[in-house]
Chain A
Amino acid sequence: MGTSITYYLQEMLRGEWLRKFLFVKTAPYETPPHFRDYPRLTGKECNRCLNCMMICPTPGAIEVLKTEEGWNPVIYPGHCIRCGLCVEACPEGVLMSGRILESQFYENTGYSYTFHLTVDTTRCMRCGNCSVACPINKEEDPQLAAGGTGANDEVIMRVKGGELQILHEEKCTGCKTCEETCPNSAIRVARVIEAIHVAEEEG
């Protein structure tokens, strides 16, 4: 017993031990580069599709703004939760964060989305404002856009037989012009997002 006490005392009075005991600190923790951080610009050109803004779950976290260098997304810390969804949703690879872009490349993942139109028939007055205003309808049937009547079945929606029929939902681009034009808030556009595994379909 006596020897072990002397052993400990000897050990603890060594200068090196005392120095360590009093002054050594844990090495500062460096954030590893593969951690997702606030998305940064890669320098690729942004085509202003606004996918990044549409997928962002947080109010006020991302905006696509015009600066001297052109259009680019701007991330606001204090709002952004570093989820990385905008990085994944961007079709042009404008943003990067951690190793999201690499793993997306190796695993061939991406997002596809479609738009779903719902008409509340009890509110809809069959005015046809939506079908006239829709920019896709204008392309498909200029007559409908100009005169309000059209016979073309290629349009997204039109008033026919006393009701508003949705004919080609899949052509909708999600611009929400119809929602804004509708005088009675009868039509709603919903974006349906799917995570997919094929890079070619990436939205």
Chain B
Amino acid sequence: MSFLQSIKNTVRSRSIHVSYVNVGSCNGCDIEVLAMLAPRYDIEQYGIYVHNNPREADILLVTGAFTPQWEDKLKSIWDKIPEPKAAIAIGNCPISGCVFNRRGSFVDPPVAKHIPIAAEVPGCPPRPTEILNAVLSLAPVVFKDYEEKQQ
């Protein structure tokens, strides 16, 4: 492993920028993402920063069952995130549509049909610890030795 790569690995493991997008959830999962910021879970102590700019993000948290309005927009948000990147489906909605996936409803789950999803956190809503664990266990897999893996 080159020296540069090991520096990148260290930096990336201590600074993961998370951006989230709600593609039609009830807001419950968004509240749990918010709860991760509270002192009890304190996501920032792991170097994870939640903010809403896809161009600065490493990980995209997707909540919601995918309503028709997102057809073109989610893809464009995903394209704005610089490599290396990963998307995590938060909650049942992006996985199965949860209670919204009924006959005659307009939602179009799973979100994995629209953008590549690297991990899924089931639950309605998932607990903050579960989301946190997903981010922490996914980040090393996606970001470690990224440049060397590309070659």
Residues of A within 8 A of B (CB): 25-26, 28-29, 31, 35, 57-60, 76-82
Contacts and interface: CB of A to CB of B under 8 A. Distances in A.
Interface string B83-103: 000000000100111110110
B129 A81 contact: no
B104 interface: no
Which of A25, A60, A79 has its CB near the most chain B CB atoms (within 10 A)? Answer: A79
B124 interface: yes
Contacts of A35: 127
B102 A31 contact: no
Interface of B: 39-42, 45-46, 92, 95-99, 101-102, 120, 122-124, 127-129
Contacts of A29: 40-41, 128-129
B95 A78 contact: yes
12 contacts: A29-B41, A29-B128, A35-B127, A59-B96, A59-B99, A77-B123, A78-B92, A78-B122, A79-B96, A79-B98, A81-B99, A82-B123
Nearest to B127: A31
Given A26-B39, A58-B98, A79-B98, 11 more contacts: A29-B40, A29-B128, A31-B129, A57-B99, A59-B97, A59-B99, A60-B101, A79-B96, A79-B122, A81-B98, A81-B99
A185 to B, nearest CB: 16
B45 A26 contact: yes
A29 B130 CA distance: 10
Nearest to B133: A28
A77 B124 CA distance: 10
B47 to A, nearest CB: 11
Nearest to A60: B96
Nearest to B125: A81
Contacts of B92: 58, 78-81
A132 to B, nearest CB: 30
Contacts of B97: 59
B124 A82 contact: yes
Given A77-B122, A81-B92, A81-B124, A59 B101 contact: yes
A58 to B, nearest CB: 5
A34 B39 CA distance: 23
B46 to A, nearest CB: 8
Contacts of A78: 92, 95-96, 120, 122
A82 B32 CA distance: 15
A76 B99 CA distance: 13
A30 B123 CA distance: 17
Contacts of A58: 92, 98-99, 124
Contacts of B124: 58, 80-82
Contacts of B99: 57-59, 81
B45 A25 contact: yes
A77 to B, nearest CB: 4
Contacts of A60: 96, 101
Contacts of B39: 26
Nearest to B132: A29
